[in-house]
Amino acid sequence: MNEKLEIALDSRERSLVTGGPLSGLPTLLEGEREVFLVYDRNVEKVAEGIMEACPGIVGMMPVVATEEEKSIDTVLDICGRMMDADLSRDALVLALGGGVTTDLTGFAASVYKRGVRYANIPTTLLSQVDAGIGGKTGVNFESYKNMLGVIRQPVFTYLSSEVLETLPEREFRSGAAELLKTFLIEDRDGGYEKAVRYLSGGDGDLQPLLFAAASVKAGIVSRDPFENGERRKLNLGHTFAHAIEHEARLRGDDITHGEAVAIGIVLAAALADGLGVSRDLAPRLSQDFSSAGLPVRCPYPLSALAEAMGKDKKAASGMVRFVLPERIGSVIVRPLAVSAALKVLSTR
Ligand SMILES: NC(=O)c1ccc[n+]([C@@H]2O[C@H](COP(=O)([O-])OP(=O)(O)OC[C@H]3O[C@@H](n4cnc5c(N)ncnc54)[C@H](O)[C@@H]3O)[C@@H](O)[C@H]2O)c1
């Protein structure tokens, strides 16, 4: 993967999406004299390799990648360790891990000394195609996901399929939901069908799919970095997914973000079918997602999701902006009252 993408926010803030073998990292870090590495404990071996290969690393901190640890307390711990390492404003903070680690690290770097640069080396499929690109950082607060955070771009995101080798199967499948989501929004290089084929039978190559998905996300973020319009499309399935995750936490159920997104996308397609925005899309996506090893049925009654959906931070004055798929590769955003959406879904 030698291609390079650039996300340009304005003349000041630019973000590079690149990738390849991890052996390419030291070159990218050349000239960096103060690098602080925040890494997920589950990729400690990769972290050790990076520390050996990159002389500029002056400090590090392992984190435990759970939603409970994705908290303001952990951000304060990271900042404390950066202070202990006497990190200056010129430092670069490197995040190595999945979305929990990149979200936490990006947030800590954004507030430390009013903001130092950070970069991501995402180690899950989900974070390679989604969380690690686009500059959304943050933590959970009072049982609500990503309630506190800032949008600030990493100086680079390094995509290396090497790091996925140790990823548990369930985590890989969860990332597959975001991969499919991306191609539902924009079907770059026929990525949707290729991804379904790859995920259901291992047919094809993952590497070009990673980069195609990353380029879709990078393109959208470049055009709308602060989510005033087009970027909202990336929330496809997420209004439902956040509500499902909220309900799962209340019940003590075990469901990953990607699994919730898969169910949420199928619900969004059912809503689109019900509103006449699409035709028979829900059954098709249901079949594709199932064959990709993803859950498609909501385990909770719709009424249980209603309250959390109203409180979603994207809800404005009781209305929620639903992202509705029209067909593969095209979605629209439509504001709708939660009660109206659930009424349509209850008839499906
Ligand atoms: N910032 C954004 O734009 C954005 C977008 C989507 C999701 N997110 C956030 O991302 C988080 C989910 O992130 P995620 O699914 O990438 O993973 P994660 O960080 O939650 O990690 C999942 C599990 O995999 C382990 N792991 C990570 N990489 C591994 C590897 N290579 N080998 C073995 N184990 C590994 C972790 O330790 C953890 O146990 C959520 O908190 C979500 O809110 C953020």
Where along the chain do its domains lie?
A: 5-167, 175-348
CA angle 149, 96, 243 (to 5 degrees): 40
Q: pTM of this prediction?
A: 0.89
Which residues approach ligand 1 with their CB closer than 6 A?
A: 40, 42-43, 65, 67, 70, 97-101, 103, 123-124, 126-127, 130-131, 134, 136, 145-146, 163-164, 166-167, 171, 174, 257
CATH 3.20.20.30 fits 5-167, yes or no: no
Where in the sequence numbering do the catalytic residues fall? Answer: 114, 136, 178, 217, 227, 231, 235, 238, 242, 257
Q: Write the residue with the smallest CA distance to atom 12 of ligand 1.
A: 99
Identical fold between 5-167 and 175-348 = no
Q: Read off the tokens for 118.
A: 């950070």
pLDDT along the chain (348 residues), means of 10: 60 78 92 97 97 95 96 98 98 98 98 98 95 95 90 93 93 95 96 96 84 90 87 95 92 94 98 98 98 96 85 65 97 94 89
> Around Cβ 109, how many Cβ atoms within 10 Å?
29
**Distance from the alpha carbon of residue 171 to the mean position of ligand 1, in angstroms:** 8
Decide if 183 contacts 328 (C-beta within 8 A).
Answer: yes
Taking the CA of residue 166 as reference, the ligand 1 atom at the shortest distance is 32
pLDDT of residue 314: 55
**Distance from the alpha carbon of residue 100 to the mean position of ligand 1, in angstroms:** 5
Fold exhibited by the domain 175-348: Dehydroquinate synthase-like, alpha domain (1.20.1090)
**Distance from the alpha carbon of residue 124 to the mean position of ligand 1, in angstroms:** 6
- Of 176, 78, 74, 75, the C-alpha closest to 124 is 176
Which amino acid is it at 298?
C
Size of the chain, expressed as the number of residues it contains: 348
pLDDT of residue 161: 85
